[in-house]
Structure 1
Amino acid sequence: MLTEEKEDYLKAILTHNGDHSFVSNKTLSQYLNIKPPSVSEMVNRLEKSGFVKTKPYKGVQLSEEGLTYTLDIIKRHRLLELFLIKILEYNWEEVHQEAEVLEHKVSHLFVERLDKLLDYPITCPHGGIIPRDNQYKEIYTTNLLSFEAGDEVTIKRVRDRTELLVYLTSKDILIDEQIKIVNKDDTNKVIMVQKEDKITVLSYDNAMHIYAEK
């Protein structure tokens, strides 16, 4: 297995569509909060190991081997999240950080047994797809900003942003819950949603990380 640091780089590259396009070192530097020279050094190491390919003035992209490895990391992470919630009764806002630690420690055998124990789930507790056989495109990709006032939608996926998850929990807005879009305020960049008799205000930034279906 690669070091935790290298695995975090691979995940960051995939997060920025590095499966099919090149990601600049500047983007990785800002996302990982690591100085550009250190990013360049790590990218060179990953390239020498065959996990990425680079192109001058374009950046870095995952190789086929790198993509397969990265999807395995994500699978481990999301299965661990599900295990922590279903078996150990964690809350959905607690599991991300725990899974971040554990994903670097568990063996392939452990992951296979965990997958079987959980009956080969399709999605993680946050609605993200669990990669299998290089099938990894998210099922739910329509964020709340895509809907209009008056639309009634069902929450299907939320990105792993702890503060957002804590806030949604406090408002009793969880996966598979139905809400109504009450208003979109373009001036103040907020969207108001309603569940039963409660109104919740979300920034446009947070709304972009919540995905739903009509």
Structure 2
Amino acid sequence: MKPTPTSSSVEDYVKVIYAFTEWQDKPISSSQLAARLGVANSSVSEMVRKLKDQGLVDHQPYSAIRLTADGLLLALSMVRRHRLLETYLVQELGYTWDEVHDEAELLEHAVSDTFIERMAAKLGHPSRDPHGDPIPAADGSVVMPPAHRMNQLDPGHQGRITRISDHDPALLRYLDQERIELDSLVRIEGRRPFGGALVVRIGTGAAARDFDLTDEVSGSLWVSPEGTHPGCTLAVP
């Protein structure tokens, strides 16, 4: 599925632009892109001009950055590589879910398309990575679960944890220590007074446990209602 060969910097940029908008409708700005990539705003401006010249993004001065159809195709190919590598590192090589991101960042530019597709077959063509992010299919389609951030849900809402943000390895280690993981059943109990922590119950029966979660934690967890369709398929335009 990977299109015409491009530089690793171009691949990183389109992947970050896609990932920023994957779980929300708001497009990314130049300053947000710079922060995510850890580079200067001037470097982002120069690269965005190159991406626009290559037909990979739409961008006007002082406006948000959006992928074109070709940019989306490239981004999905890189996301597929990254998430398959993360899955392989966890399932086959014993990495923990807080260790895989940086390793996958290095490997995704180096391995061939043949390697990626053989790895996908070895894994049984998984639909999501260790953090719950959907893995695009080889044809560019993506199945997105109907999920919402935990901190946006009302008291009484019940569902399963569908996605856990991988932006902070320390947070992943905390969740692992507390046994808060993908597919855990969760019920929103309410909030502590005066804008306090979100109170949630995770698990059922005797195994259920109550947690006071800060917005930093609850905002990193996505929940899907029980009994809903597993997701909707989005195709590359």
Q: Same fold (TM over 0.5)?
A: yes
SS of the equivalent of 1:50 reads coil
Tell me the residue number matched to 1:81: 86
Mapped to 2, the partners of 1:180 and 1:203 lie a distance apart of: 16
Give 4+ residue runs of structure 1 displaced > 6 Å after superposition: 18-21
Question: Residues 37 and 186 from structure 1, CA distance in 2 versus in 1: closer, same or farther, beyond 3 angstroms?
Answer: farther
2:187 is the counterpart of 1:183: no
RCO comparison, higher one (Cα < 8 Å, 6+) = 2
Residue of structure 1 aligned with 2:36, choices 28, 31, 36: 31
Q: 1:23 deviation in Å? A: 3.6
Letter in 2 for 1:93: D
- RMSD, matched Cα: 2.5
Structure 1 residues 18-27 or 92-101, which shifts more? 18-27
Gaps of 5+ in 2: 226-237
SS of the equivalent of 1:17 reads helix
Mapped to 1, the partners of 2:184 and 2:72 lie a distance apart of: 33
* Percentage of matched positions with identical amino acids: 32
Residue of structure 1 aligned with 2:142, choices 122, 127, 136: 136
Q: 1:28 deviation in Å? A: 1.7
SS of the equivalent of 1:87 reads helix
Residue of structure 2 aligned with 1:12, choices 16, 41, 50: 16
Structure 1 residues 142-151 or 121-130, which shifts more? 142-151
Tell me the residue number matched to 1:95: 100
Q: Deviation per CA, 1:32-77: give whole Å up to 9, x if none.
A: 3322211111111222222223223324321211110100111011
Mapped to 1, the partners of 2:16 and 2:194 lie a distance apart of: 32
Q: 1:15 deviation in Å? A: 2.9
2:124 is the counterpart of 1:113: no
TM-score (norm 1): 0.87
Question: Residues 187 and 2 from structure 1, CA distance in 2 versus in 1: closer, same or farther, beyond 3 angstroms?
Answer: farther
Mapped to 2, the partners of 1:16 and 1:92 lie a distance apart of: 20
